[in-house]
């Protein structure tokens, strides 16, 4: 009897782990007005069965609210903090203050910088990313957390000079000095690459991309890439990232999609209907564990952007309208996470 109970308990635990692994995360950006309290936001995650969160800077109220929950966390080092963390003592203090001091929070990844690009205005941070990653990794290791928390950085499709066809994906040659050592660091430490992948921006900026291809609603193959057939743009962009990594020695480097979303207003193709279609189909796609043509049969860990609209965000108008929920916590769309 005892052995049967043990077997049932193990099977139940395995089911819980498998179920959690298939869930999608949601990013919690806070550049908006009238947002709920951090505790209310965590409660909203829990009510909706969202078990993964990303936040873009340490926030004590959010970390306290996450304590004791089953929500896994990506915690960012903001770009403007990168230079300070090139000092090991500063990195050790950062890890102690924002991670070690919250032992009941399920930290999963530390994103050391977000979309740092040597070819745009964020180039001033580029020389700080890898030294900061190394120092944070050392601090995580010294705290005895290296098996629990992985250190990475969040990249994006803008670093690629070639993304079509996907197997020809390549990073811009003038940033190889930046990205190749990062790939080596991630492989050495068994950490994934974090990548923000947005079919919306590719669609909005490329006149010949069909909307159905971007929304997962194409009726069949749209792109033939040798022996690989693509029916949606998300897979194509993901595999272009993978191909770019492969060319620089990262053939076994896993990719976590640290952001993906579709706006409900603001610019070309942005509407509530299109956004709902994209989010529903993306969730269904990644939870099916079908992988991509280049990486079949794999679960693509994915974080939706974002929990709320961010009314104070700069850039194009669409940047303000990626929210899944209204500030009063009503859902903008009917989704199952």
Q: Which residues are catalytic?
A: 115, 259
Q: How far apart are CA 307 and CA 229, in angstroms?
A: 32
Q: How far apart are CA 49 and CA 254, in angstroms?
A: 25
The one-character DSSP state at 253 is -
Read out DSSP for 276-311? HHHHHHHHHHHHTT-B-SSSBT----EEES-SB--T
Q: How far apart are CA 104 and CA 228, in angstroms?
A: 44
Which residue is associated with the tokens 């207003």?
265
Rounded (10°) CA dihedral 21, 307, 44, 285: -30
Q: How far apart are CA 186 and CA 183, in angstroms?
A: 5
Q: How far apart are CA 285 and CA 52, in angstroms?
A: 17
**Neighbouring C-alpha atoms within 13 Å toward the C-beta of 87:** 7
Q: How far is CA 276 from CA 205, 263, 323, in A?
A: 20, 9, 11
Strands (E), the chain: 25-27, 52-55, 72-77, 106-114, 150-156, 160-162, 170-171, 193-196, 223-225, 228-230, 255-260, 302-304
Q: How far apart are CA 50 and CA 24, in angstroms?
A: 7
Element holding 235 (H helix, E strand): helix 233-247
């Amino acid at each position: 009897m005892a052995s049967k109970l043990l077997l049932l308990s193990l099977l139940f635990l395995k089911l819980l782990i498998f179920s959690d692994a298939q869930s999608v995360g949601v990013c919690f950006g806070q550049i908006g007005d009238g947002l709920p309290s951090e505790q209310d936001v965590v409660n909203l995650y829990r009510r909706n069965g969202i078990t993964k969160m990303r936040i873009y800077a340490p926030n004590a109220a959010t970390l306290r609210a996450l304590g004791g929950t089953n929500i896994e966390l990506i915690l960012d080092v903001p770009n403007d903090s990168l230079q300070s963390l090139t000092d090991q003592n500063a990195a050790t203090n950062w890890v102690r203050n924002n991670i070690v001091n919250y032992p009941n929070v399920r930290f999963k990844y530390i994103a050391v910088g977000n979309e740092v690009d040597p070819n745009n205005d964020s180039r001033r941070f580029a020389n700080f990313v890898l030294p900061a990653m190394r120092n944070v990794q050392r601090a995580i290791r010294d705290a005895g957390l290296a098996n629990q928390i992985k250190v990475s950085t969040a990249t994006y499709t803008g670093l690629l000079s070639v993304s079509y066809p996907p197997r020809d994906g390549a990073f811009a040659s003038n940033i190889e000095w930046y990205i190749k050592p990062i790939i080596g660091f991630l492989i050495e430490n068994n950490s994934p690459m974090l990548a923000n992948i947005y079919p919306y921006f590719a669609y909005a900026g490329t006149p010949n991309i069909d909307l159905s291809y971007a929304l997962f609603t194409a009726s069949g193959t749209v792109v033939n890439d040798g022996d690989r057939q693509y029916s949606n743009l998300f897979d194509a962009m993901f595999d272009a990232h993978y191909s770019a990594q492969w060319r620089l020695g990262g053939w076994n480097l896993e990719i976590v999609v640290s952001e993906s979303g579709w706006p409900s207003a603001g610019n070309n193709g942005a509407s509530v209907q299109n956004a709902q279609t994209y989010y529903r189909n993306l969730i269904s796609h990644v939870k099916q564990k079908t992988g991509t043509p280049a990486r079949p049969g794999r679960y693509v860990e994915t974080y939706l952007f974002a929990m709320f609209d961010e009314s104070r965000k700069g850039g194009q108008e669409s940047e303000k309208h990626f929210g899944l929920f209204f500030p009063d916590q009503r859902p903008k769309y009917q989704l199952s996470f």
